[in-house]
Amino acid sequence: MYHWRVKRMCPAWACLASDKAEPQSLRLIDRPGSLWRLVFFLALPVLAQQALILSVSLSDRFLAGRLEPLPRAQQAEAIGDQVTSLGLLASTLLPGNGVANVLAAEVPWEAARQIHSRHISYQAAQTMAIYVGWTIASLTVLISVGSTALVARFIGAGDRPAAIKVTNQSLLLAVALGLTGTALGLPGLKGFVALLGLHGDAGVFAADYMRPLILLLVFQVIESAGIACFVGAGDTRMGFYVLGGVALLNLPLAWALFLGWGPFPELRFVGIAVGTAISHTLGGLAVLVALASGRAGLQLRWRSLWPDWSLLWRMLRISVPAGIDSLTIIGGHLWFFSIINQLGDAAIGAHGIGLGWEATSFLFGLAFGTAAMALVGQNLGAGRPQMAMRSGWVAFALGGSMMAFMGAVFFAFAPQMFRLFCPLPEQQPIVSAGVPVLRLEAFAEPALASLMIFLSALRGAGDTRVPMIFNCIGVLGVRVPLAYLLTRAHVDLGAWGTLPGWNLGLFGAWLAMFADIYVRGGFFLYRFASGRWKAVRV
């Protein structure tokens, strides 16, 4: 079931994961310190997995910050052509005058300035890539939350055949959702980018980046669905193996396709996305191989892939509210992003880099949230609601303390963190806009920990409807309206006239995000502490 080292260090987990688990056998977990160790060792593989994924994101941002807009040979040719043409023109118009020589000398510098000015557009497009990743993750929630919750309940109750059936139905849904996403996403790609207000070079780069990801979307959805089932079965290491492998493969592939190493073509900015798409394709195939081999007691069975409408409805009854929740969040995030897009490419680039560094704290929230989700679901399935409650609090204590530490790092090292991705003088506007917002984010980390970890714990219990309302209030009722008010000099209210704004630029947008995080973090803390999720039926 779970890795033997964790079984030895945490005997309770072996009882919890057993096919014949009984509620009284779970009392072993009440021994002092055993729950803390269990939560930590469940979170550890996810933490390592998320760290590897984050390294890919930071590597992609690093490449985008140093990308030459044209291959070097074409740059030299373009500059040479400009020198020759403008020099001849100046000589013709101003014969015998030293102006011709001056203009010819200035052309290389002007051409270089025009070329390097596109660096900011690349950073803006890379920010768009972050939101694309979030959108895909939100789509997978339509499957993953219900899969994890039901597999965890059945494993906790000792009903492994039912858990296997859920796993196969989850894969069926993954194929359907992935193919539908590709069919709808490819034709609407340019319109989607334009809708978000990303135009010019940044819009073109963003559309090109998204295309290979959408084309191979089905494999990424299969990957997420399979890993969600493994998490429900208590096997968080499989996610580490698959997504860690995806990350380790993605890094060299992105660089090779970006730079054109060896037999690989020089795809430049698009090469980053092609490397990501290929890596997730192999990750999806790896999940299928693991299920075919019967890992964690789950099994790929062809006869179980035929639609079981009652079970599918049961899964979707949990997942659809969570999916609507996630899609509402990402819709609000995209709306928020469209507001930032009106602040210029420098603000967009700074926003993306800030989000990238903020993601270093996300990995703790995701890791301990995953542990909470698995333990809450399995303890409820085994008839241990109080232990489910304790599991959530322990996960929050561990994950929240680590996220608070990351907040201190953000505050202390924000300038250095931005200059790592913006080493060129023309990128200084990105640094100037980004450092204050990252320091502001440092103070949001405790609330962000509450939001991420308790949301996962509630989803593990199958409690997805009330959190959906909380997220709608926070994102659409707090973040978006405040973003308009704090980023603009005047807010147009249509027939109601105009409202004076604060015109704080990107910092105002992050103030709105800060307020949203605290509102939702407080909501989820209250919901989990109330214990009402214990009575939710799945």
Asked if 96 and 150 sit in the same domain, the reply is no
Asked if 343 and 403 sit in the same domain, the reply is yes
Asked if 490 and 439 sit in the same domain, the reply is yes
Q: What is the 3-state secondary structure of 70-90?
A: CCHHHHHHHHHHHHHHHHHHH
> What are the distances in angstroms from CA 54 to CA 57, 58, 334, 409, 416?
5, 6, 21, 17, 18
- Asked if 86 and 103 touch (Cβ cutoff 8 Å), the reply is yes
Task: Check pLDDT > 60 for residue 230.
Answer: yes
Quote the pLDDT of residue 339: 93
Please write the tens of the pLDDT for every residue from 161-182: 999 999 999 999 999 999 999 9
Asked if 99 and 206 sit in the same domain, the reply is no
Most confident of 234-248, 340-354, 413-427, 438-452: 438-452
Question: What are the tokens at 367?
Answer: 């890791």
Cα–Cα distance for residue pair 28/7, rounded to 1 Å:
12
Asked if 82 and 200 sit in the same domain, the reply is no
Q: What is the span of the domain harbouring residue 397?
A: 4-69+118-535
Quote the pLDDT of residue 72: 45
Rg (CA), the chain: 25
Instruction: Please list the residues that pair with 491 across neighbouring strands.
Output: 499
Asked if 235 and 98 sit in the same domain, the reply is no
Asked if 259 and 221 sit in the same domain, the reply is yes
Quote the pLDDT of residue 31: 55
Asked if 344 and 245 sit in the same domain, the reply is yes
Asked if 456 and 473 sit in the same domain, the reply is yes
Asked if 82 and 65 sit in the same domain, the reply is no
Count: domains in the chain: 2
Please write the tens of the pLDDT for every residue from 120-146: 666 667 677 777 777 787 778 888 888
Asked if 24 and 80 sit in the same domain, the reply is no
Please state which of the ranges 193-207, 335-349, 385-399 shows the lowest mean pLDDT: 193-207
CA angle 465, 444, 344 (to 5 degrees): 95
Asked if 93 and 184 sit in the same domain, the reply is no
